[in-house]
Homo-oligomer: A and B are copies of this chain.
């Protein structure tokens, strides 16, 4: 089964239990292989920064370029990482060995010069996060554009509003969609507010002591190379940026989750107000067409807050680097990036293909109207009240910055000119 060359494929996880992100861009951007790339990119940027700060000779740029060519097997690295507790330790060893062979011992020693494992891993995670946030922003931005269209298109369609599971009063389909739009913009706003995420280069104990008084200059150069921000101080044990990132990912889950929750209610057989463009099949009931995007989004939105709680607990970290809290953060953060990436992609696809059944919408509204003995005037009054808010939402939406301009590709490789 499977078989990757001779090496047996053992222990690999390709999302078989996570259809919400299996095959997604976010998955590819956060795979073990992508992480290795980001770690190596960080080590290369460090060499360039050392040269830029006049610490290492300019000739080390060849060394930086070399690093990207060193073959690293993520599978082997994962197992090697156990002994020291993190993947940077064996990675640096592999890089140094290869560089020593190519450039000699002295040059190779510039690798990881002055950095600690946490600098490189935290920086790599922020690079992965930057990439994922860019596609999340692209997908949510496209979803928002589509939702703005739908809000306009359906602003004149009165529907039943439901509270606590019960038919309540009329609203419009346009206003319900405008709510989805506003929530999506909220999530986009929280993503923008994070940018750029910070680089880390504080050395083993937060003093970057190897650089002496040049620490801030090296950090600034390092961060600039990677299009990340340079923090005031070490964030080895000051995790506000990670908390903020986790919060933004929960926001993404909430934005998509809200749309999904509404579609799940509205697509129930007896209600029948909407269906997804194409339904999910059932393994046992040929007649079924399941709201599969919505339920996958819903499943992701349920996981994100609990994972954020791990990040939150890990934000309390003792002394200069903690014994456990930091290590507990890695996998939950990657999982959150994947879940949010999957939510954004599926939400975009979901809203793109929603098929509303206006007959059903009208029928359900008629049910309420007759229960209350109301006439069309009544419906019209509610429609007009709702429409004021659609205007307000669309107006606010115009004022928003362009959410499409988040660009993970801005990140330059280490060989680029400074």
Which residues on B sit within 8 Å (CB–CB) of A288? 163-164, 166, 168
Which residues on B sit within 8 Å (CB–CB) of A320? 161-163, 168, 171, 176
User: Contacts A2-B72, A15-B79, A295-B327 given; 20 further ones with Cβ under 8 A?
Assistant: A3-B9, A11-B27, A12-B75, A14-B74, A84-B290, A92-B283, A112-B284, A161-B207, A165-B268, A170-B209, A204-B282, A207-B386, A212-B385, A243-B251, A258-B315, A265-B319, A294-B323, A298-B328, A299-B327, A302-B316
Interface positions, chain A 11-45, Cβ under 8 Å from B, are: 11-20, 22-23, 27-28, 31-33, 35-37
Q: Is A157 an interface residue (CB 8 A)?
A: no
Which residues on B sit within 8 Å (CB–CB) of A7? 4
With A240-B187, A298-B316, A316-B298 known to touch, is A233 a contact of B16 (CB < 8 Å)? no
Least Cβ–Cβ distance between A304 and chain B, in angstroms: 7
Binding stretch for chain B, among A100-108, A134-142, A364-372, A406-414: A364-372
With A10-B33, A32-B14 known to touch, is A243 a contact of B254 (CB < 8 Å)? yes
Contact assessment for A318 and B169 in the assembled complex, using a CB-CB cutoff below 8 Å: no
With A35-B16, A203-B284, A381-B209 known to touch, is A319 a contact of B162 (CB < 8 Å)? yes
Contact assessment for B4 and A211 in the assembled complex, using a CB-CB cutoff below 8 Å: no
Contact assessment for B238 and A269 in the assembled complex, using a CB-CB cutoff below 8 Å: no
Interface positions, chain A 23-79, Cβ under 8 Å from B, are: 23, 27-28, 31-33, 35-37, 71-75, 77-79
With A85-B19, A206-B175, A207-B171 known to touch, is A313 a contact of B305 (CB < 8 Å)? yes
Contact assessment for B269 and A89 in the assembled complex, using a CB-CB cutoff below 8 Å: no
The distance in angstroms between the C-alpha atoms of A257 and B386, with both chains bound, is 34
The distance in angstroms between the C-alpha atoms of A309 and B167, with both chains bound, is 29
Least Cβ–Cβ distance between A320 and chain B, in angstroms: 4
Contact assessment for B35 and A392 in the assembled complex, using a CB-CB cutoff below 8 Å: no
CB pairs A–B below 8 angstroms (25 shown):
A2-B9, A10-B28, A11-B15, A18-B331, A22-B81, A83-B280, A88-B283, A92-B283, A116-B282, A161-B319, A163-B205, A163-B320, A168-B321, A169-B209, A169-B285, A187-B240, A193-B193, A204-B284, A208-B385, A254-B312, A264-B318, A295-B323, A299-B326, A301-B324, A309-B309
Q: Is A195 an interface residue (CB 8 A)?
A: no
Q: Is A98 an interface residue (CB 8 A)?
A: no
10 interchain residue pairs of minimum CB distance:
A305-B312, A4-B4, A298-B324, A161-B205, A299-B327, A257-B316, A254-B315, A163-B321, A209-B385, A167-B269
The distance in angstroms between the C-alpha atoms of A9 and B372, with both chains bound, is 44
Q: Is A340 an interface residue (CB 8 A)?
A: no
The distance in angstroms between the C-alpha atoms of A320 and B211, with both chains bound, is 43
Interface positions, chain A 133-157, Cβ under 8 Å from B, are: none
Least Cβ–Cβ distance between A72 and chain B, in angstroms: 6
Q: Is A322 an interface residue (CB 8 A)?
A: yes
Q: Which residue, A87, A308, A330, has most C-beta atoms of chain B within 10 A?
A: A308
The distance in angstroms between the C-alpha atoms of A296 and B331, with both chains bound, is 12
Q: Is A216 an interface residue (CB 8 A)?
A: yes
Least Cβ–Cβ distance between A231 and chain B, in angstroms: 9
Contact assessment for A33 and B385 in the assembled complex, using a CB-CB cutoff below 8 Å: no
Which residues on B sit within 8 Å (CB–CB) of A271? 268, 270-271
Contact assessment for B309 and A332 in the assembled complex, using a CB-CB cutoff below 8 Å: no
The distance in angstroms between the C-alpha atoms of A72 and B9, with both chains bound, is 13
The distance in angstroms between the C-alpha atoms of A254 and B313, with both chains bound, is 8
Q: Is A289 an interface residue (CB 8 A)?
A: yes
Least Cβ–Cβ distance between A211 and chain B, in angstroms: 7
